[in-house]
Amino acid sequence: MLMAMLRPATLDPDLLRAFVLIAEERSFTRAAQMVGRTQSAVSMQVQRLEGILGQQLFHRGRGGQVDQTRHGQFLLDRAREMLALNDDIWRTFHQPSVSGQVRLGVPDDYALRFLPRVLMRFAEVHPDVEVDVVCAPSKELIPRLRTGELDLALVSEGDTAAGMGGEPLWTGPLVWIGSDRHATHKMDPLPLALSDPSCCWRLSAIQALETTGRRFRVAYTSSAQTGTLAPVMAGLAITMSPATALPEGVRVLGPEDGLPPLPNFQVLMLRAREARQPVTDALADYISETFAREAVKSSQAA
């Protein structure tokens, strides 16, 4: 009898989906419109979930806008994780398995940040697919995509070739990176470790410094992020990077360090015209979904 009393109730995925959608849209009305249901039906789903959990999940404000309560904030990330696991299980058993080879091009900094999650989840559902990963700068991946050497490529906005389009995956800030043990950012002229001259990130860094009149010199050049981070860790230069997946020994530098702001950057996914199907589509779907999840996590952290 005691065990039966302590056994927790099962959380209905449909109720969790309604909760997550309302939390993301901050509106019962918009959430109802997106799922094609009435607002009262969506409200009833939330009421059922609140009844099961015994806590209020939303504060209702002016103009129909809603915000999560403390308990709602606690639930949101966990609900996303539960739904992701539910969807992975469903997809594993119901999505047609594909086989063959898919060739993916990705710069090394994106590979370290995003690729492990993509490959792990993709392999769970499609274990018979051989993924050939080519790590190279964006400007080298684009011509290989054009000639059919690659099926998919992740590239930086600004490095894309005209007419190739591309699916936006990620938008985030570029930041200055320096050693956490050296005051390299105070040197004059400022020593930089940057990519090759055609890189859009390099052009952004130089333009930002020139606009503010900061003297600088390009001390190190490398087409790989590891090659630009090595002199930074040694205290010989500073560089620029997305503020994610940074190694030990470096830190983000900002206006308080006398450095100008940098623009946002965008990651795009490009497909070859003659990409192998359907294995290419399957991997592309997992890439899109992984980036979407990371974007949500980043927005919540902010």
What are the sequence ranges of the domains in the chain?
A: 11-92, 100-171+267-301, 172-265
Of the listed ranges 29-38, 152-161, 169-178, the one predicted with least confidence: 152-161
Residue with the bigger pLDDT between 302 and 71: it is: 71
> Are residues 267 and 154 in contact, defined by beta-carbon separation less than 8 angstroms?
yes
Sign of CA dihedral 206, 210, 212, 214: positive
Q: pLDDT tier at 72 (50, 70, 90 boundaries)?
A: very high
Residue 302 pLDDT more than 70?
A: no
> Are residues 177 and 251 in contact, defined by beta-carbon separation less than 8 angstroms?
yes
Q: What is the DSSP track for 204-261?
A: HHHHHHHHHT--EEEEEE-SSHHHHHHHHHTTS-BEEEESSSPPTTEEEE-GGGT---
Query: Comparing 11-92 with 172-265, is the CATH topology the same?
Result: no
Domain 11-92: which topology?
Answer: Arc Repressor Mutant, subunit A (1.10.10)
- Cβ neighbours, 10 Å, residue 240: 23
Distances (CA, A) of 141 to 111, 122, 151, 217, 221: 13, 22, 10, 28, 19
The whole-number average pLDDT for the span 95-124 is 82
pLDDT in tens, 182-228: 999 999 999 999 988 878 889 899 999 999 999 999 999 998 888 89
Chain-centroid distance of CA 10 in Å reads 31
Distances (CA, A) of 168 to 44, 95, 230, 283: 36, 25, 30, 16
Q: Which is nearest to 232 in space by CA: 186, 183, 177, 174?
A: 177
Measure the CA–CA gap between 215 and 24, rounded to whole angstroms.
44
DSSP character for 274? T
Tokens of 26: 């901050």
Residues, the chain? 302
Q: Given this structure, which CATH class describes domain 100-171+267-301? A: alpha beta
* SS3 assignment, position 290: helix
pLDDT in tens, 226-276: 889 999 999 999 999 887 667 889 999 999 999 999 988 888 899 988 877
Measure the CA–CA gap between 131 and 110, rounded to whole angstroms.
16
DSSP character for 65? B
Residue 161 pLDDT more than 90?
A: no
What CATH number labels 172-265? 3.40.190.10
User: CA Rg, the chain, in Å?
Assistant: 23
Percent of the chain with pLDDT over 70: 87
The strand pairing partners of 178, in sequence order, are 251
Rounded to the nearest 10 degrees, the angle between the axes of helix 279-301 and helix 108-125 is 120
The whole-number average pLDDT for the span 145-155 is 92
Interior/surface letters 271-300, b for 16+ CB within 10 angstroms, e for the rest: bbeebbeebbebbbebbebbbeebeeeeee
Residue 301 pLDDT more than 50?
A: no
Percent of the chain with pLDDT over 90: 40
Give the global pTM: 0.64
Q: pLDDT tier at 56 (50, 70, 90 boundaries)?
A: very high
- φ and ψ of 158, to 5 deg: 100, -25
